[in-house]
Amino acid sequence: MLSIFKKKLFSDISGSADDMPPHVSAVLCLMIEIARMDGKVDEEEIEEIKNFYLDLYPEGNFLDAFQELKEWTSHKESFNPFINIINSNCTKRMKIEILSNIWDVILSDDTVDQYENSLFMQIGEMLLISKDELEALKS
Where in the sequence is the domain holding 111, given as residue range(s)?
Answer: 20-138
CA dist 71 and 33 (Å) reads 11
User: 4: Cβ–Cβ under 8 A, 6 or more apart, which residues?
Assistant: none
User: 39: Cβ–Cβ under 8 A, 6 or more apart, which residues?
Assistant: none
Q: Tell me whether residue 13 is in a domain.
A: no
Average of pLDDT values for 9-33?
72
The per-residue pLDDT for range 31-66, each reduced to its tens digit, is 999 998 878 889 999 999 999 988 888 888 899 989
CA distances from 90 to 6, 40, 93, 108, 121 (A): 12, 29, 8, 25, 18
Average of pLDDT values for 73-98?
90
Q: Tell me whether residue 1 is in a domain.
A: no
Instruction: Assign 18 a pLDDT band (cuts: 50, 70, 90).
Output: low
pLDDT at position 6 over 80: no
CA dist 125 and 112 (Å) reads 19
Q: Tell me whether residue 96 is in a domain.
A: yes
**CATH value at residue 37:** 1.10.3680.10
Per-position DSSP letters for 37-104, written without gaps between them: TTSS--HHHHHHHHHHHHHH-TTS-HHHHHHHHHHHHHT-S-SHHHHHHHHHH--HHHHHHHHHHHHH
Q: Tell me whether residue 42 is in a domain.
A: yes
Q: Tell me whether residue 36 is in a domain.
A: yes
Q: Tell me whether residue 4 is in a domain.
A: no
Structural domain count, the chain: 1
Backbone angles phi, psi at 80, to 5 degrees: -55, -40
Output 37 or 15, whichever has higher pLDDT: 37
Q: Tell me whether residue 88 is in a domain.
A: yes
